[in-house]
Amino acid sequence: MSQPVLNLIRSLLSSALAFLRTRRQLAIEILALRHQLGVLKRSVKRPRLFVFVVLAHDRRCIVSINVTRSPSAAWTANQLVQAFPWETAPRYLLRDRDGIYGRFFRRRVRNLSPEEVIIARRSPCQSPYVERVIGTLRRELLDCVIVLSERHLRQLLRTYVYDYYHDCRTHLSLGKDAPEPREVEPPEMGEVVELPLVGGLRHRYVRRAA
């Protein structure tokens, strides 16, 4: 067998051994990562923070949003009472069957006079609007940042809602309008400019004269 052929065989064997060694190292790293993830799941309680959202169905406006580490019936009922002061409560209150909506909560809500509409068990599809809002908050905000504390999360959510979501984010169900109606800006108003919002995570586009 000629020397060039032997060299080629040695190169192929070396490449095969390197490939197998790389696969082995990768498998070991995956096992190590799985072990670390298991340890993390055992040592960290999930979820660490809870977000409570009150949504108005007609224009998809977020009436109230707040954060707590320890949700309770009293805290939840208080959020709802503060969201609708001075007899501004809606006719209907749509909610799920979470255990936090117990007797205390129902007693407080009864004073607001809305009619409670309770969805079926394990049926989030019966409350699609709020489920979409929760998904939007995750995709457009929470998946893009690292939350440092309860106060930090509350600030992030309120900045997103009041600086971007209400005035800028369009919805197909609203005819591509935002929850707070926006005026149509014709071309004669000027060139389109980009305004960064929520620390640059989101943007608003408006027309301004040069």
Mean pLDDT, the chain cut into blocks of 10 residues (210 residues total) = 60 62 65 67 71 95 95 93 89 92 88 90 92 95 91 96 96 93 91 93 89
- Model pLDDT, residue 122: 87
Residue 119 near residue 142, CB atoms below 8 Å: no
Cα–Cα distance for residue pair 120/184, rounded to 1 Å:
41
Which residue intervals of the chain are DSSP H helices? Answer: 3-43, 73-83, 103-112, 128-140, 150-160
pTM over 0.85: no
- Give the dihedral of Cα atoms 50, 51, 57, 59; nearest 10 deg: -160
Q: In sequence order, what are the residues at sequence separation of 6 or more whose Cβ sits closer than 8 angstroms to the Cβ of residue 209? A: 189, 190
DSSP state letter for 107: H
Helix (H) or strand (E) holding 66: strand 61-68
pLDDT score recorded for residue 86: 81
Residue whose C-alpha is closest to residue 64's, from 44, 90, 39: 90
User: Does an H or E element contain 53, and which?
Assistant: strand 50-56
Q: What's the pLDDT at 175? A: 92
- The answer to whether 105 and 76 have CB atoms below 8 angstroms apart is yes
Calculate Rg over the CA atoms of the chain.
27
